[in-house]
């Protein structure tokens, strides 16, 4: 929901930093892997209940997620493998953060499982729509230039990043955050199913 609002605000500074990284010889896939390492570090910090460190590492992970595309653009365009690696590692971090929180706070394991279950709906609907859109040669740049079709919804990358930050800032609110965002994820999944029904019939 917020990704298309954020893109005009962040694209220009990301492209400047991405240009500097590309000139320094860092590849887009290298940035993606550095970001993933930050995400894994955030998971470890959450499992140990070191929430301030998890917040910093999640912020760095999200920064790297924006910069890998910027480096790719400044290097002459990204590869299909780069797009694949980016989205796979993103989804691992999204679910891994919730799993790691539950490791540290096992009393919240049930609501954590509900949120990860909800992520399956958004991930599957997102990727399945992209597959059919590619088959039909559909394109969009509403959320920036991407390796494949990015379908929007109530729950997108910006919202997920805010949720990850929120559970670090107010970990005791985790049950309410997880239940609330899980519902938003299911509404997003329903919206994408209806969009696919309209587009692909």
Count of positions (residues) in the chain: 201
Catalytic residue, chosen from 65, 80, 90, 141, is: 90
Residue 90 appears among annotated catalytic residues: yes
192-201 b/e (C-beta count within 10 Å ≥ 16 → b): beeebeeeee
Q: Measure the CA angle with vertex 192, ends 79 and 131; round to 5°.
A: 35
CA-based radius of gyration for the chain: 17
Which of 156, 172, 41 is closest to 100 using CA atoms? Answer: 41
What is the set of active-site residues? 90
């Amino acid at each position: 929901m917020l990704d298309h609002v954020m893109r005009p605000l962040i694209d220009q500074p990301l492209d400047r930093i991405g240009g500097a990284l590309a000139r320094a010889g860092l590849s887009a896939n290298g940035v993606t892997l550095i970001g993933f390492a930050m995400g894994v570090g955030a998971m470890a910090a959450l499992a140990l209940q070191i929430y301030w460190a998890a917040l910093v590492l999640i912020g760095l992970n999200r920064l790297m997620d924006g910069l890998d595309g910027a480096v790719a653009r400044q290097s002459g365009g990204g590869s299909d493998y780069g797009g694949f690696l980016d989205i796979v590692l993103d989804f691992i971090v999204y679910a891994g953060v919730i799993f790691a929180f539950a490791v540290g706070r096992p009393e919240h394991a049930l609501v954590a499982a509900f949120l990860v279950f909800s992520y399956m709906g958004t991930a599957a609907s997102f990727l399945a729509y992209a597959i059919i859109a590619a088959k039909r040669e559909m394109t969009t740049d509403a959320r920036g230039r991407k390796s494949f079709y990015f379908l929007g919804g109530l729950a997108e990358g910006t919202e997920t990043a805010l949720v990850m930050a929120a559970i670090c800032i107010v970990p005791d609110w985790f049950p309410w955050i997880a239940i609330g965002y899980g519902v938003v994820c299911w509404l997003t999944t329903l919206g994408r199913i209806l969009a696919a029904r309209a587009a692909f019939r």
